[in-house]
Amino acid sequence: MIQSIRIFFTAVGILAATFVSAQTVTHTIAEVQGELFASPLIEQIVTVQGIVTAANDFSYFIQNGSGAWNGIYIYDNTNLPTVGDDVILEGEVSEYYDLTEISNITYFETVSSGNELPAVVIVESGVLGASGEPYEGCLVQIVNAVCTNPDADFGQGYFNDSSGDCMVDDMLYMPDPAWVIDEYYSITGVLTYSYEEYKIEPRDASDVSIGMAVGTIELISVNLYPNPTVDAINFTLNTAAIASVYDVNGRLVFSENVNAGNNTLEVSGLRAGSYRVDCVSDLSISRASFVKK
């Protein structure tokens, strides 16, 4: 079977390539994650495709879209992809101390390199720290978060943007000098999970910005209606965002992508009580509360 066709236009120095993979992708990453704490596909063999967003000598992270449920950790000490590679791989789904991963890689293929990475999603530190499961394996960012503990052992620190603490780890990168107590940071990285905590893993110095980011995030009130509600809430946004619904204890109930303009969230399946909605975009957080009857 012909796996690739390369056509070289040497006269003008242009290279065009058409790549046909011999391996069929069987699942999206979101299907492997299952939108659950533990994957519904444990011990099953899957083939997935995604862009490498972070890597070291024994593992890497891939995403096939921006935002919740679209990232996953790959344990693989044989292949050494580079950030920006589009890869197809086959392996076994497992939960390594509650971290969903694909390991025992039996097929690996680099489709292309130098690709644009999925967009980083800005998420509150308290959301990531308390209920970061939807963002496990994904590129995330916390903004204007103060360092509350610069030395939580093993190169880890805690950061809080006023929504709650989130841990930052040093699996891929550790700043030098190290974290500074009471200093403000904006930190980008992939989210992982170990020792019962969600952790941001910055990849290099460019993922860490020191000091307050002026005018980066605007907190906006949004009108929800009807409120109280039985079946759904309606609202209007100026920009596309990820809408996350939290219960009264700050636990994430669900997230979904919403568009600029008029939106409706189905909430008929929620228990009666009070909830908060955060619609997070690159430049703003639109926030409101509602009561479910």
Asked which of 56, 88, 112 is the last residue of a domain, the reply is 112
Tell me the residue range of the domain where 197 lies.
Answer: 121-210
Q: Residue 159 sits in a domain of what CATH number?
A: 2.40.50.200
- 57 φψ region: left (φ > 0), alpha (ψ -120 to 50), beta (else): alpha
The verdict on 136 and 157 lying in the same domain is yes
The verdict on 151 and 250 lying in the same domain is no
Asked which of 112, 132, 164 is the last residue of a domain, the reply is 112
The verdict on 176 and 132 lying in the same domain is yes
Asked which of 112, 145, 172 is the last residue of a domain, the reply is 112
The verdict on 191 and 254 lying in the same domain is no
pLDDT in tens, 44-83: 999 999 999 999 999 999 999 998 999 999 999 999 999 9
The verdict on 17 and 73 lying in the same domain is yes
216 DSSP assignment: S
Question: What tokens does 96 get?
Answer: 């390594």
Instruction: Look at the chain and report how many structural domains it folds into.
Output: 3
Q: Which regions of the chain are under pLDDT 70?
A: 1-22, 212-219, 249-251, 282
pLDDT in tens, 114-150: 999 999 999 999 999 999 999 999 999 999 898 999 9
